[in-house]
A = this chain, B = another copy of it.
Amino acid sequence: MISKERILDLLSAYDTENLCLATVCSHTSLQIFHGAKAEGLRTIGLITSEQQRAIYDAFPAAKPDEFVDVGDGAIPYEELADKNALLIPHGSIVEYAGRGLEDAPLPVLGNRQSLMWERDRRKMFEWMKAAGLQTPAILDPDKIDRPCVVKHPGAKGGRGYAIVHSPEEFHAKFENKDVMVQEYLVGVRAYPHYFYSPLSKEGYRTADGHLELLSIDRRFESNVDESYRTMMAGVPIRPSFTVVGNQGLVIRESLLSDMLSMGRDAAEAAERLFGGIPGPFCLELICDENLQFYCFEISARIVAGTNIYPEGSPYSCYVFGEPMSMGRRIAREVKTAKEMGKLGKIVY
């Protein structure tokens, strides 16, 4: 992994009056570009095919100022650094740039180490445990004694997840792939979207900064989230968990205290384990019938569920007196850091 010093060196050569935000044209890019415009920052869209441009014809208020073609599979980091670009990581970048991101000679919003802790499910559970979060049990495939979800590594949007109930079923479905076997938890899902700032003087206090809870979503997965319709139709169905979209959600106000403290604990554990997670993150939670939360995954960057709220959410309006998406919040933090001369605190 490229050193933080190297990134700070690169940053020191930046013309900070002409910063711009670059990201791959997918996942949450419309929101990120739209938010950057609201904050007056320039944007670069990294496209892998010409068709992607056409999407921005449909959504002109979210069109980046410039496109850079990365169709050959390589992000031109040096060219982006010359343009004073900060890379905004999202789920598709994690998949697209892969391990190359570790060595990318370009400032990345947040802490690129967190993306490595997100990619490796065992490290992710280490992080969740260090934060004191309740988690599903992780089982050895040969000791499966209850319903379990089997998950592939990385941010695959749920594709290929499967349910197994025994070692035999596991081995019939998986040939010792690099998967994780998690106990199936009974409850309902909720995905709070946090923004952690080491710079802000407002928000929910953590050891080294402040936390904001900007919104919450539920994922909408095919085919499982309409499986009851299929079953009612008398059609045999094997559940699949491919994320298709997201829907808005508010939770009981009395649960906000738990949601905030879980976010704080995750941010503080990140600080201790690998130097913190400036920027957006998400805890993927199950809430059981006794209103206990279990965390089964952390996304250490902006999540697609924030796309529900490009003009703010039922929570962000209690934080800001203006429409504030997660994309705009990112741009706001970049501006603030620049003004404070502390960009080095929010990138790596």
Q: Which residues of A contact B (CB under 8 A)?
A: 26-30, 34, 51-52, 54-55, 57-62, 92, 147, 149, 157, 159, 163, 165, 184, 186-190, 202-205, 211-213, 216, 218, 220-235, 237, 239-240, 242-257, 260, 287-291, 304, 307-312, 314-315, 317-321
A315 to B255, CA, bound (A): 27
Which one of A57, A220, A252, A319 has the greatest number of beta carbons of chain B within 10 Å? Answer: A252
Interface residues of chain A: helix, strand, loop or mixed (majority): mixed
A304 to B226, CA, bound (A): 21
The answer to whether B320 touches A57, judged by C-beta atoms less than 8 angstroms apart, is: no
The answer to whether A309 touches B318, judged by C-beta atoms less than 8 angstroms apart, is: no
Which of B34, B184, B213, B226 is in CB contact (< 8 Å) with A318? Answer: B34
Q: Within the oligomer, what is the number of copies of this chain?
A: 3
- In the bound complex, residues from chain B placing their C-beta under 8 Å from that of A235 are 147, 184, 186
The answer to whether A250 touches B245, judged by C-beta atoms less than 8 angstroms apart, is: yes
The answer to whether A246 touches B250, judged by C-beta atoms less than 8 angstroms apart, is: yes
Closest CB pairs A-B (n = 8):
A59-B318, A240-B289, A58-B204, A228-B228, A245-B251, A232-B239, A62-B318, A163-B233
- In the bound complex, residues from chain B placing their C-beta under 8 Å from that of A147 are 233-235
A218 to B218, CA, bound (A): 14
The answer to whether B288 touches A223, judged by C-beta atoms less than 8 angstroms apart, is: yes
A229 to B230, CA, bound (A): 12
A211 to B29, CA, bound (A): 20
A-B contact pairs, 19 of them (CB 8 A): A27-B252, A28-B253, A30-B253, A57-B202, A57-B205, A58-B204, A58-B318, A59-B319, A163-B233, A187-B223, A187-B226, A188-B223, A218-B220, A227-B232, A245-B250, A250-B307, A253-B304, A307-B314, A309-B314
- In the bound complex, residues from chain B placing their C-beta under 8 Å from that of A318 are 30, 34, 58-62, 310
A244 to B29, CA, bound (A): 31
Smallest beta-carbon distance A206→chain B, Å: 11
The answer to whether B319 touches A60, judged by C-beta atoms less than 8 angstroms apart, is: yes
The answer to whether B249 touches A220, judged by C-beta atoms less than 8 angstroms apart, is: yes
